[in-house]
Amino acid sequence: MKLYRKTFTSLKWVFKGLTFKGYLSLALYVILGFFQGVSILILIPMLSITGIADSEVTNENKLIKNVKYYLDYFNLTISFRNVLIIFVCIILLYSFVTYSSKILNSKLVQGFASKLRKELHHSYIETEWIHISKIKSSDLLGLISRETTRIATALTVLTELIGITILLVFQIGIAFLISPEITFYVIVSSLFLGLLIRKLLFSSLQNGIRSISYSETLQSNLIGYFQNFKLAKSQNLNGKQKILLEQFSDDIYNNRVQFEKDRAKLNLITDIGSAILLSVFLYIGFVVYSKSMLVLILLILIFSRIAPGVQSILRKTQTLFNLIPIIDEIRTKIQDFKNNKEDIDNKEINKYELNRHIEISEIYFKYNDKHLILENVSLTIKKNSVIAITGESGSGKTTLVDIITGLLKPTSGNIMIDGKSFKEIGYNNWRSNIAYMTQEPILFNDTIRNNILWSNPQATEEDIWNALNFANVKEYVASLDLGIDTYVGDRGSRFSGGQRQRIALARTLVRKPTLLILDEATNELDEKNEHEIIENLIKLKNSMIIFIITHRPSTIKMADQSFYLKNGKITNVVFSK
């Protein structure tokens, strides 16, 4: 029962994705059903003209008599030529509507995929950092880049299912008017056939669940492997990865083959079942109910269209069941992001200029019910100063920085900017003043120019070169054949660790922030280069606060004020002379 509810909830969520285009697509299916019905009815006068249906046969069925009556009522000449012209016109209209329906469905699926990507991304970036930090980026990457298109396909499949059902209702309705007894028998038999393939549908559902698991595991493993490829190659660890990849590939292969086997079984059952049902219904119609040849021909024509429709419904249902797990994955992920949305203002972003100081008072912080990460931390960070924080790994240095940026909210205590809270200033207004460089800066696989412009798209070329100069990398970049238009490679692989850090530092500086945070940002540099860069940065302190997390004594000595964190507490404060 739980599985049924989950399936229904997921399908309901997809169905909500129907826009005006979706409902228009369903309307086109109604028109198609009408044209199919008319194209069948138009055969009645054609068969009469050819002599297949004589007057006695024509008068035995109420529907056929009604068609004849309305043709006579409107004084429509029943000639073979006119009937063929009408028939061709109906087919042309039917083909045009079918063409329009396919184009509309294509726009529907791409539009829904685009909407899902945007919603998933927007809800992600609005989620609290404490929640985001628990999510595997590789899983989210797969959902946004690949699975959204599959879910959009599910919307098309669902729309087509409804559309084909509408067509079947028209066709079955006409068949019922021609012969209620035989039509009822066919409907009951089709329902029985549906029960036979019920297990195959749920097998497809389980197959979809396994497919998600295999894809996420493979993608996560490959991202980690490619990021550490140099390490793996230099230590001859590629053999282990080869074995893992073969195992993942075999799992995906076996799972996909099983799905295709289930689909083949479904086709086999429906093909054989349709043939048997058609034979039995012909026997019953001709022998038991003594139906005329005209009635049988019309019923054969109708049921020859119904049978592929039923098969199509079963195949699409199987496809839909296979997609249910990934639909549920994205649906719950979006809802999870929304449930953990960051409680910040939606004020218009307007940079806040720091006038006096940042006041941190009696800050306590812990994750859920775990031990305290920060305990009774209080400090004042004055404008135009260089602050250094040092301490052992895990002492809470980065956590303190995350609180200052507003990414984390303290369990208790206050942080005030010029006597104002984050809510008064606006979280995004405050963050717009911050430039933050982490321990492991990542460069995009793009040019040096575009990497730097990423943090400040309005920066001029002069701004870029000034930032490179303060990062002590201007001369090196200028010596490159393409200068700032040189590609850095994947994650900056074309440069050394020190060069990557200095380019990343230039990207940070080009923001022209009020608060510059460097979290072990120069740990790849030798002491001489680091000293030169810090000296350059100190020249900027008249326009910003420079907040440095470092272990190097030489850097600590250059700060106006330094703090030592131990077990989440400030144990030592040193002021420079």
Reported as a pLDDT band with limits 50, 70 and 90, residue 57 is very low
Cβ 358 vs Cβ 545: under 8 Å: yes
pLDDT single digits (tens) 394-444: 788 888 888 888 888 888 888 888 888 888 888 888 888 888 888 777 888
Where do runs of H (alpha helix) occur along 42-79? 43-50, 55-58, 62-73
Mean pLDDT of 25-37: 70
Average pLDDT over the chain, rounded to an integer = 76
Q: Where are the beta strands (DSSP E) in 174-297?
A: none
Helix, strand or coil for residue 379? strand
pLDDT single digits (tens) 332-351: 888 888 888 877 665 556 66
Element (H, E) at 227: helix 198-227
Mean pLDDT of 316-341: 82
Helix, strand or coil for residue 208? helix
Q: Inform me whether the pLDDT recorded for 104 exceeds 50.
A: yes
Residue 8: CB partners within 8 Å, gap ≥ 6?
Answer: none
pTM of the model: 0.69
Mean pLDDT of 527-533: 74
Residue 449: CB partners within 8 Å, gap ≥ 6?
Answer: 464, 484, 485
Measured CA to CA, the distance from residue 246 to residue 343 in angstroms comes to 45
Residue 207: CB partners within 8 Å, gap ≥ 6?
Answer: 255, 258, 259, 262, 322
Helix, strand or coil for residue 361? strand
CA atoms within 13 A on the CB side of 457: 0
